[in-house]
Amino acid sequence: MKLFNLFKRNKPTAGKKFGKHPKRDDPRNLKFAKYATELAPPPSTFSDMDVVCAKLGVTDPKTLYPMDGNDTLGDCTIAGIAHADTTYEGLIGQKSIPSRCTVVSLYKKLTGGQDTGCNMLDVLNYWRQNKCFGDKIIAYTEIDPKNHTHIQQAIQLFGGVYIGFNVQENAIDDFNNGTTWTPGNLTGDGHAVYLIAYDQDTVTVLTWGGYIKATWAWLDYTCDEAYAIVPPELNSPELLADLNAVTK
């Protein structure tokens, strides 16, 4: 059985790759829970994807969130922040889609030119200290992925949540078939994606040039790290009020 599972992990993945390194804890991380104690309960359903599409006059969200090299490279950690950047810009009515070349170049810069995958904290810390896609982020806060209220609040307030998870069997087949992700046997691979919407049953995941629904039970079972990113676009009057509600 062990040999069979190893074979399944290493077989070709039909043009969809993984690349997230195991979670690395850092006691210096800001905790979302510290800033969320007095926030109002989140709405039962919320979609930043719908907001962005409405502001940009886009009918097909997939055009805003392309593959970004994750069909041939394990650059999911960089594709995820590219999707985040598109969302932040879209929330203030500006259309910005980082090119595949830009995403891959940043990935290769962080890996020294090799296709080794990345650690999510390394990517976030680099983005906080260096301009990526034109801007530095202001900060990021770590979220307990099992705290559904905090995940929902972060999606509503910050445009989405950058998460890493342990990949379940059939993840690619289910994505290709449009089948909602649910818990399943884990393969040993790690993947980074961007959550952009939720309802009471599911979260909406951006990845591989598209999006898919996933159950909250899936999030509980697979997700091992989650971050709310504070982008410079929050300096806009509309979003700054939300930031002030979190940070006092």
The verdict on residue 25 lying in a domain is no
pTM (whole model) above 0.85? yes
- pLDDT, position 1: 33
SS3 52: helix
- In single-letter form, the type of residue at position 72 comes to T
CA torsion through residues 187, 188, 192, 196, sign: positive
Cβ atoms of 100 and 68 closer than 8 Å: yes
DSSP H or E run through 244:
helix 237-247
Structurally, how many domains does the chain consist of?
Answer: 1
In this structure, is residue 2 part of a structural domain?
no
List of the chain residues with pLDDT < 70: 1-14, 234-248
pLDDT score of 39: 84
What's the token pair of residue 149? 């209220």
Q: How far is CA 47 from CA 28, 61, 70, 215, in A?
A: 30, 12, 24, 15
pLDDT of residue 10: 35
Alpha carbon distance 226, 163 (integer Å) = 4
- Residue 160: the pLDDT is 97
- Tell me the angle at which helices 100-111 and 120-129 cross, rounded to the nearest 10 degrees: 110
**By C-alpha distance, which of 69, 68, 94 is closest to 83?**
68
* Residue 188 in domain: yes
| CATH number of the domain where residue 109 is located | 3.90.70.10
What is the pLDDT at residue 133? 94
Assess if residue 5 is contained within a domain.
no
Rg of the chain (C-alpha set):
17
Query: Distance from first CA to last CA of the chain, Å, rounded?
Result: 53
Alpha helix stretches (DSSP H) within 92-208: 100-111, 120-129, 148-158, 171-177
pLDDT of residue 240: 57
Specify the pLDDT at position 61: 96
Quick: pLDDT tens for 63-108.
999 999 999 999 999 999 999 999 999 999 999 999 999 999 999 9
CB atoms within 10 A of CB 40: 8
Give the range of the structural domain holding residue 96, as residue numbers without chain letter.
13-20+30-247
4 found inside a domain: no
Q: Which amino acid is at 78?
A: I
Residue at 95 is within a domain? yes
Residue 214 phi/psi, 5-degree rounding, is -140, 140
